[in-house]
Amino acid sequence: MFYTYILYSKVRDKYYVGSTINLTERLKKHNTKHAGFTGHTGDWCIFWFQVFETKRDAILRERQIKNWKSRIMIEKLISSTGL
């Protein structure tokens, strides 16, 4: 299974959208110190995820969400699924 996910950082008050094959391990990596966008706060939490059978479908969904470029749309998606 493959996942598209949305993380949230309270410290940054930002969302992060990504896709992966292992959601638990990916979250651990986001919360470690590294040079990337998510590597500085260590407080990222999963706010939403969707499961796909193929990597391609997960990446397409990730791109769709990122192309919205809208916090409002992301928050609507999160609230509509009740995760």
pTM for the full predicted model: 0.91
Residue 46: domain span: 2-81
Domain with 70 in it: what CATH number?
A: 3.40.1440.10
* pLDDT tens digits along 42-68: 999 999 999 999 999 999 999 999 999
List, in sequence order, the alpha helices (H) in the chain: 23-30, 55-68, 71-81
* pLDDT tens digits along 15-45: 999 999 999 999 999 999 988 889 889 999 9
Give me the number of domains the chain comprises.
1
Cβ(45)–Cβ(7) under 8 Å?
Answer: yes
Kindly tell me if the per-residue pLDDT of 82 is higher than 80.
no
